[in-house]
Amino acid sequence: MENSDGRKKFAIAGVAGYIAPRHLGAIHALGHELTTAHDLSDSVGIMDRYFPGADFTTDWSSFERQLRRGAADYLTVCTPNHMHLPHTLAGLAAGAHVICEKPLGLTPGEIDRMIEAERSSGRNVRTILQLRLHPEIVRLKQAVAEGPADRVYDIELTYVTPRGRWYAASWKGDTARSGGVATNIGVHFYDMLLWIFGPVVQSRVHYAAADCIAGFLRLERARVRYFLSIDSRHLPHTEGGGMQAYRKLSIDTEAFDFSSGFTDLHTESYRRILAGEGFGPHDARAVVALLHDIRRTVPEGLVGDYHPMAFGLERRVHPVSTAKPSEHVG
């Protein structure tokens, strides 16, 4: 249970991962305590920066026993995407609340299992949907809500964030474990669009490969052309080069800038979760269902309303898909 001074006790699974420092930093910034951590890798020197006195193990059974003995009020899950469900369920079964990195799950069925486990355990699951907290995104949502109810916006989303050869060799390059490139780099953008512009009416995929995806969404209040890539060749050419990533969102041909303001969003997420707020499985289900649908959709080629950056790309069948195209997300 929590310390006598009100500080919460945290455990973290996946402490050696890329995103774990954001969570460690948030726990530390808010004055709480990390008691124990787990990862299959023992390259966890980052713990010295925040919680040098915390326990660490590479043995999951030992870590789980600590949870069951009440080592933590909250389990933070930063493990690979396909492990989010079993690790979340383990945390709930041990009596801890769970804070899970995105994506909360890979299928709607996984989300439903978390909802049921919440009910049976009496504990909460929360996830990081950080763009919902970004000041510019919040203002955009308010502007859309206050605008004409029958207005439908035309949106173009472009996101290129290059990854090296390691990506394909890691779990992130395995669609069965990661959910593919749309899930890995696009989940926050898709969630933002659904949150602001309403549910999916139609979803089409024009092009899909292991490193790039392009498609079209018809939302209740928006028509969205999107292009997501981890291929550095898709970065715009700039004088002097050196561009690390490219992110562009245009709404009715006007650029929408939200390039700054990301620094403290994990900390703000934790602040709200610990105040009894935050985003749970019900909030995350729509974007998980959309990504699951995109993953199962056969690309139809460059027909209809496609993103201009998709022009010239070789048409390929999605590497893990044998499903027929789907127009509606359940």
Listed residue (112, 68, 80) closest to 289, CA to CA: 112
Q: What is the pLDDT of residues 95-132, one digit of tens each?
A: 999 999 999 999 999 999 999 999 999 999 999 999 99
Give the residue from 127, 161, 190 where a domain finishes.
Answer: 127
Cβ pair 178, 80 in contact under 8 A? yes
d(CA 246, CA 260): 13
Confidence of residue 156 (pLDDT cuts 50, 70, 90): very high
- The phi, psi pair for 171, rounded to 5°, reads -60, -25
Question: Taking 60 as the threshold, does the pLDDT of residue 315 lie above it?
Answer: no
pLDDT of the residue at 287: 98
Give the residue from 82, 99, 127 where a domain finishes.
Answer: 127
Averaged pLDDT, 2-27:
92
In a domain, 238, yes or no: yes
Residues 251 and 116 in one domain: no
The CATH number assigned to the domain holding 203 equals 3.30.360.10
Q: For every residue of the chain, which 3-state class applies, written as one string?
A: CCCCCCCCEEEEECCCCCCHHHHHHHHHHCCCEEEEEECCCCCCCCHHHHCCCCEEECCHHHHHHHHHCCCCCEEEECCCHHHHHHHHHHHHHCCCEEEECCCCCCCHHHHHHHHHHHHHHCCCEEECCHHHHCHHHHHHHHHHHHCCCCCCEEEEEEEECCCCCHHHHCHHHCHHHHCCHHHHHHHHHHHHHHHHHCCEEEEEEEEEECCEEEEEEEECCEEEEEEEECCHHHCCCCCCCCCCCEEEEEECCEEECCCCCCCCHHHHHHHHHHCCCCECHHHHHHHHHHHHHHHCCCCCCCCCCCCHHHCCCCCCCCCCCCCCCCCCCC
In a domain, 4, yes or no: no
Residues 65 and 148 in one domain: no
Confidence of residue 4 (pLDDT cuts 50, 70, 90): low
Averaged pLDDT, 148-170:
95
Confidence of residue 329 (pLDDT cuts 50, 70, 90): very low
Question: Tokens 């609340």 belong to which residue?
Answer: 97
Listed residue (129, 81, 110) closest to 280, CA to CA: 129
pLDDT of the residue at 330: 28
In a domain, 327, yes or no: no
Averaged pLDDT, 151-171:
95
83-92, 167-176, 223-232, 307-316: lowest mean pLDDT where?
307-316
pLDDT of the residue at 244: 83
Residues 56 and 174 in one domain: no
d(CA 192, CA 188): 6
In a domain, 318, yes or no: no
Residues 175 and 298 in one domain: yes
pLDDT of the residue at 59: 98
Cβ pair 185, 125 in contact under 8 A? no
The dihedral formed by the CA atoms of 9, 14, 17 and 18, expressed in degrees to the nearest 10:
-50
Amino acid identity at 45: G
pLDDT of the residue at 257: 75
Give the residue from 127, 156, 185 where a domain finishes.
Answer: 127
In a domain, 323, yes or no: no
Residues 38 and 169 in one domain: no
Residues 282 and 147 in one domain: yes
Residues 102 and 174 in one domain: no
In a domain, 109, yes or no: yes
Listed residue (237, 273, 295, 277) closest to 75, CA to CA: 273
pLDDT of the residue at 42: 93
The CATH number assigned to the domain holding 31 equals 3.40.50.720
In a domain, 329, yes or no: no
Averaged pLDDT, 64-80:
98
d(CA 330, CA 316): 25
Q: What is the pLDDT of residues 294-303, one digit of tens each?
A: 999 999 999 9
Structure tokens of 301?
A: 């080629």
Residues 122 and 188 in one domain: no
User: In the beta sheet, which residues pair with residue 229?
Assistant: 160, 212
Domain containing 33 equals 9-127
In a domain, 328, yes or no: no
d(CA 50, CA 54): 9
Domain count, the chain: 2
Residues 97 and 74 in one domain: yes
pTM of the model: 0.91
Strand order in the sheet with 246-251: 200-209, 212-219, 222-229, 153-160, 246-251, 254-256
Q: How far is CA 277 from CA 51, 126, 280, 313, in A?
A: 26, 9, 9, 43
Averaged pLDDT, 33-59:
97
95-104, 112-121, 280-289, 320-329: lowest mean pLDDT where?
320-329
Residues 95 and 27 in one domain: yes
Residues 120 and 136 in one domain: no
Residues 161 and 121 in one domain: no
